[in-house]
Amino acid sequence: MGLEKLRLSPSSMFVILLLQCSLSGYQMIKGPCHIQTTYSPTYRKEGDLILGGFFSLFLKREEKISKDFLSFYVHIMSINNYQHFLTFQFAVDEINKNPHLLPNLTLGYQLLNNFYNYKLAVESSLIWLSGSGPTIPNYKCDKQSNSVAVIGGMSTTLSMAMATILKLYKVPQISYGLYDLLLSDKVQYPYVYQIGSKQSTLHLAFIQLMLHFDWNWVGVVLSDDKKGENFFSNLKEEMVRNGLCVAFKERVPQNIGVDEYFKIFSKIMASSSNVIFIYGDPDSLYQFSTILIDFVVYGKVLVTTSSWDFSPVYNIDSSSHFHGTIIFSDNQRELPGFTDFIKSLNPRVTPEDIFLKNFWESVFLCRLKVENHIEMFYSSCLEGLSLTELHYINLDRIITELSSNVYNAVYLVAHALHHMLQSEARETSHLGQNPDLSWKMHHFLKCTNPVNSANDKSCGNGTRMAAETYDILNFKSFPNSLEILVKVGQAIPLNQEFSINEEDIDWPEDFSQTPTSLCSLKCGPGFKKTVLEGQPICCFDCIVCPQGKISNHTDAEECLQCPEDQYPNRERDRCLPRTVTFLAYEEPLGMTLACVAICFSLLTVLVLGIFVKHRDTPIVKANNLSLSYTLLVSLSLCFLCSLLFIGHPTTATCLLRQTTFAVVFTVAVSSILAKTITVVLAFRATKPGSRLRRWLGSTQYLIVTCTLIQMCLCGIWLGTSPPFLEMDIHSEPGSIIIQCNEGSLLTFYCVLGYMALLALASFTVAFLARNLPDTFNEAKFLTFSMLVFCSVWISFLPSYQSSKGKAIVALEVFAILTSSAGILSCIFAPKCFVILLRSDRNTLKILKRKSAS
């Protein structure tokens, strides 16, 4: 309720005063103080000084039979709130027995019930000001002005309503409810003192609880007033800072109806949040809790403060609905002797205590004997009953936060009076005749109250406020209406201290384990969060980390790039060290290719040895000795140059292997081209008068020329963009491929293209010479060798483009060995067969016979 609704307008004040005057105006002729009232809504205990106690025992709730037809009010008793009455009485009795506090003085009190209604709070203020007689504005029946202060105001609403009347007479008013900035306005409420904790860090305690249980999606139910809004503003700011979200926010008005509550209830149940924070003015929340009896919230964990009384009705087993509720309460205290005080209570001893009588009859479901009165529905109360026998009422075992504030408020007034009397050294026998007694207390109340004196310059340096400590309580409800509050933890937000024992917590029956409250399920390692458009940050999707990145913790905002020497595992939740890979001699493939290369090289040397040994035989002479020697030497080097591709690459091997391969193969191919041309020239030169005979000895120059051209191309390649050593981390996941980058692909393909051109020329010439006489049948072998050579390298090119890593190297080595072996076998294998196994055919006679045929 807003401040403008809490103030009584002048017209309202006039109506109240007029009604009060009209009720007793007709009796003024006899004197108002002589009027005997049959019923007084107060309980007064006399003393030298009188304290007023304004508490709320009953809630006045409107019940409607139908929407537009009939409604009536029922009074609902709050069992826990009666503890405020008892704590007040206990504190007064304790002070009266203390010889060191207010010696030679006794405190009395007058108790009144506000019914949680600010209008009745105004009426109670008028009753208290009028003394023991009838309620007459600005008229007091007591002869002595011994009323010193009022303790009351469970909520801001009630405190402001009382202050409207009490401030006219400068009566000190100590509010025992939660601290509210509205009441700290000393212009409007100069005589109101707040004893309750400011709870300025309560929102931080809520945040600590959320972070501990990993709740990031909570609903908030607030009282519809300034206090609720301030709390939500602080809470929301801190939640945003910690990445937490509000699932919904609902305001509860002070006079909530069934229709309004049904809307709130529907929103609570429809929310995906499993945790609901409840905070606000006790008046609004009190009615809210009573309606929860009709609309039970299932599947939700309630988190609230001790100012919310969620078990107001004694005869309805509604407390089980709140089993598992988490409660934040100011640091509690024990009251020694309080249990004995409760045991001593009996309405037969103090029949004038109407509150004890009503409470006694309510909890024991009986009626105390009244003269000339017969009760038809309830039996008479038995003698010997005690409030401590009620196992479901913990009036003596659980001192609530507000009851502790009432106790502190009584002592605050007592100490203020004590200091005032000591400073003035006034005779205590004249206190009752001092009309200014309550006015002079204000300075001492300010300097005695730790809440008000913290920043008050008139009280010296003031009192340093201690860090707020909150006890975390767990409400447990058992069969037979047994209820207990168990302390399960403690929070000191300013010191960033938080402790909680989860094993001692009983959660609502809907949860078999610690509940979760999340908008979206957590993204595990290997995933990252993607916030949904238009949704809070707590609502997101989980997507797999992209290639090469990982996330190693839950709810990662971004995926991390692995270092270059590492790679993500399959789950992408950690980086693994990469293995260095290349075509090594130690692995089977590399060892096999190296052995093949060496073997073929040795085989080529063996063939060369055979040709050298049988150089005088006709078949060797017929195939141009020098060209055969050149070809065999180049083929042996071709096999050996493949070894440059195997093993750990270095800068030197990267520069040498392709150029060496290109030059040596050029020599081999150009030798084949020279042999083919020689065969053609030899056949043509046999004709009489042929001029081609002089060219037979010049084919060696062709080899040198072709080789020089290739060497020039390689020189250009090395001079412009030579091959270099590189580490490839992208081709194969989990591996670092150490390889040679060919540098300029254009010059590399020019080198290969030049060899291909020579091979194509050799193949063409050999193909044209394939039908020459058998004496010169080497043309057929040359044709087959070039066919094999071209087939291998044509197949190599597409495979080279589609392969990665060491597979490329293996393919090139295989192409070198295969093409070289093809040339060796096609050209020299038939000759070696004849030389070694058919020596009878290696004669000039046989050759001439074949030539003649």
309: number of Cβ within 10 Å: 20
What separation in angstroms does the CA of 814 have from each of 731, 742, 824? 21, 18, 15
Which residue type, as a one-letter code, is found at position 51? L
d(CA 121, CA 251): 24
Task: Give, in degrees to the nearest 5, the angle at Cα 420 between 417 and 423.
Answer: 150
**In sequence order, which residues have a C-beta less than 8 Å from that of residue 588 and are 6 or more positions away?**
none
Mean pLDDT lowest among 411-425, 611-625, 717-731: 611-625
What distance in Å separates the CA atoms of residue 57 and residue 60, rounded to the nearest whole number? 10
How far is the C-alpha of 618 from the C-alpha of 853, rounded, in Å? 18
DSSP per residue, 520-531 = SPPP-TTEEEEE
Among 594, 743, 744, 761, CA closest to 675:
761
Answer positive or negative: Cα dihedral of 159, 160, 164, 168: positive
Higher pLDDT, 516 or 312: 516
* Structural contact between residues 739 and 731, judged by C-beta atoms closer than 8 angstroms: no
All domains of the chain in start order, with CATH? 3-25+39-60+70-199+350-379+395-459 (3.40.50.2300), 527-577 (no CATH), 588-852 (1.20.1070.10)
The residue that leads in pLDDT, 366 or 132, is: 366
Q: Give, in order, the Cα–Cα distances in Å from 425 to each of 105, 106, 145, 454, 460.
A: 14, 17, 19, 27, 22
More confidently predicted of 299 and 430 = 299
Q: Which residues pair with 276 in a beta bridge?
A: 219, 302
Instruction: Give the 3-state secondary structure of residue 646.
Output: coil
Sign of the alpha-carbon dihedral angle for 376, 382, 388, 390: negative
Say which residue, 607 or 620, is predicted with more confidence.
607
Is the confidence at residue 299, as pLDDT, over 50?
yes
Place of tokens 């309503």: 161
Choose the most confident range, by mean pLDDT, from 33-37, 140-144, 673-677: 673-677
Cα–chain center distance at 226: 30
Q: How far apart are CA 215 and CA 246, in angstroms?
A: 11
Complete DSSP assignment for 440-509: HHHHHHHHH-TTTSTT-GGGTT--PPPPP-EEEEEEEEETTTEEEEEEEEEEEGGGTEEEE-GGG----T
User: What are 240-296's pLDDT values in tens digits?
Assistant: 999 899 999 998 887 777 778 788 888 888 898 999 999 987 767 777 777 777 778
Residue 1: which pLDDT band, with cuts at 50, 70 and 90? very low
pLDDT at 151 over 90: yes
The chain-wide mean pLDDT, for the chain, equals: 79
Return the HEC string of 168-227. Answer: HHCCCEEECCCCCHHHHCCCCCCCEEECCCCCCCHHHHHHHHHHHHCCCEEEEEEECCHH
**Is the whole-model pTM more than 0.75?**
no
User: By C-alpha distance, which of 794, 483, 463, 813 is closest to 661?
Assistant: 813
φ, ψ for residue 120 (rounded to 5)? Answer: -70, -25
CB 205 within 8 A of CB 261: no
Question: What pLDDT is attached to residue 591?
Answer: 93
**Selected residue with higher pLDDT from 839 and 736:** 736
| Under 8 Å between Cβ of 389 and 416 | no
**pLDDT of 396:** 67
Q: Name residue, tokens 């069969």.
A: 479
Give the pairing type, strands 560-561 and 549-550: antiparallel
Place of tokens 């910690």: 242
Mean pLDDT calculated for residue range 814-819: 90
Cβ neighbors of 70 (< 8 A, separation 6 or more) are: 64
Q: Are 662 and 706 in contact (CB under 8 A)?
A: no
User: At 136, phi and psi to the nearest 5?
Assistant: -130, 115
By three-state DSSP, how is residue 104 classified? coil
Q: What is the CA angle 690-693-695, rounded to 5?
A: 125
Tell me which of 287 and 634 has the higher pLDDT: 634
User: What single letter denotes the amino acid at residue 828?
Assistant: F
The Cα-based distances of 633 to 147, 639, 670, 834 in angstroms read 129, 10, 13, 21
In this structure, of 81-90, 341-350, 693-702, 758-767, the range with the lowest mean pLDDT score is: 693-702
Task: Return the residue matching tokens 């929102």.
Answer: 203
Bigger pLDDT: 310 or 15? 310
Average pLDDT over residues 606-632: 83
* pLDDT of 133: 52
Nearest to 91 by CA among 53, 55, 129: 53
Four-point Cα dihedral 714, 719, 725, 730, nearest 10: -90
What percentage of the chain exceeds 90 in pLDDT? 20
* pLDDT bracket for residue 480 (50, 70, 90): low
CA distance 4 to 712: 100
DSSP 8-state assignment for residue 651? H
Out of 376-390, 686-700, 728-742, pick the least confident: 686-700
pLDDT at 844: 62
Identify any residues that bridge with 43 across adjacent strands, giving them in sequence order. Answer: 111
* Residue 394 pLDDT grade (very low, low, confident, very high; cuts 50, 70, 90): low
pLDDT-derived band at 134 (thresholds 50, 70, 90) equals low
Of residues 332 and 261, more confidently modeled:
261
* Tokens coding 498: 């938080």
More confident residue, 185 or 804: 185
Question: pLDDT grade, residue 551 (50/70/90)?
Answer: very high
Rounded to whole angstroms, the Cα distance separating 687 from 386 reads 147
How much is the average pLDDT of 189-206?
A: 89
Which of 70-84, 143-157, 572-586, 803-817 bottoms out in mean pLDDT, i.e. has the lowest?
A: 70-84
pLDDT over 80 at 563, yes or no: yes
**For the ranges 267-271, 567-571, 683-687, which has the lowest average pLDDT?**
683-687
Q: What is the pLDDT of residues 399-437, one digit of tens each?
A: 778 888 899 999 999 999 888 888 765 544 455 455 567
pLDDT the model gives residue 238: 93
802-822 average pLDDT score: 87
Query: Which band of pLDDT confidence, cut at 50, 70 and 90, is reported for residue 53?
Result: very high
- Which position has the token pair 């609720």? 228
Tell me the backbone φ, ψ of residue 97, rounded to 5 degrees.
Answer: -90, -10
The helix or strand, by DSSP H or E, that contains position 108, with its residue range, turns out to be strand 107-113
Q: What Cα–Cα distance (Å) separates residue 718 from each residue in 181, 645, 661?
A: 84, 18, 14
Which of 327 and 390 is assigned the larger pLDDT? Answer: 327
Among 819, 779, 455, CA closest to 622: 779
Mean pLDDT of 128-144: 62
pLDDT above 60 (res 537): yes
Closest by CA to 192, choosing from 155, 145, 218, 240, is 155
Nearby residues of 30 by Cβ (< 8 Å), 6 or more positions away: none
The region, left, alpha or beta by phi > 0 then psi within -120 to 50, assigned to residue 534 is left
Of 136, 185, 152, 172, nearest to 26 (Cα)? 136
> Of 223-232, 608-617, 767-776, which range is least confident?
767-776
**CA-to-CA distance for 500 and 208, rounded, in angstroms?**
10
Please give the distance of CA 159 from its chain centroid, rounded to a whole number. Answer: 41
Beta-sheet pairing, 58-64 with 275-279 = unpaired
Directed axis angle between helix 282-291 and helix 258-270, to 10°?
Answer: 80
Give pLDDT, residue 685.
54
Residue 116 DSSP class: T
Whether pLDDT at 813 is above 80? yes
For 58, the enclosing helix (H) or strand (E) is strand 58-64
Amino acid at 636: S
pLDDT confidence bin for 319, thresholds 50/70/90:
low
In a 13 Å sphere around the CA of 229, the CA atoms on its Cβ side amount to: 8
Place of tokens 């100012």: 307
Please answer whether residues 221 and 250 qualify as being in contact, where contact means their C-beta atoms are separated by less than 8 angstroms.
yes
Among the listed residues 809, 829, 372, 440, the one whose alpha carbon sits nearest the alpha carbon of residue 606? 829
For residue 249, how many other CB atoms are within 10 A of its CB?
15
Written as six digits, the tokens of 347 are: 């309405």
Question: Which two structure tokens, joined as six digits, stand for 131?
Answer: 């003394």
Tokens describing residue 428: 């205590």
Tell me which H or E stretch contains 151: strand 147-152
The arithmetic mean of pLDDT across residues 452-462, rounded, is 54
